[in-house]
Amino acid sequence: MSRIEFNKQKRDALLDKLTRYLDRELDCEASPLQAGFLLDFISEQMGPYYYNQGVQDAQQLFREKLEDAVYEIEKPFVD
């Protein structure tokens, strides 16, 4: 799997959310550099779990939709 990366706008928004969360919920002030290191750690170490769960959810949805579609094209039996 390729590395999870965000464009500058998304990364800045994530860093802002992370910095505010740390300050508000944990009473911990983090510099932009520190927040960036934490975001990188979360992305690298935990991101794949969230990504894989999303893939599994999508696979399940596709299976359900495909199964529904297959039943919809069945022809009724004529006795």
pLDDT in tens, the chain (79 residues): 678 889 999 999 999 999 999 999 999 999 999 999 999 999 999 999 999 999 999 999 999 888 877 777 777 888 7
Q: Report the predicted TM-score, pTM, of the whole model to 2 decimal places.
A: 0.73
Alpha-carbon span 47 to 73, nearest angstrom? 39
User: Is residue 35 domain-resident?
Assistant: yes
Task: Say if 32 falls within a structural domain.
Answer: yes
Nearest to 18 by CA among 49, 57, 46, 54: 46
In a domain, residue 3? The reply is no
Question: Could you tell me which of 17, 62, 54 has the C-alpha nearest to residue 38?
Answer: 17
- Please state, in angstroms and rounded to a whole number, the distance separating the CA atoms of residues 9 and 17: 13
**DSSP state, residue 73:** T
Domain that includes residue 33, residue range: 8-72
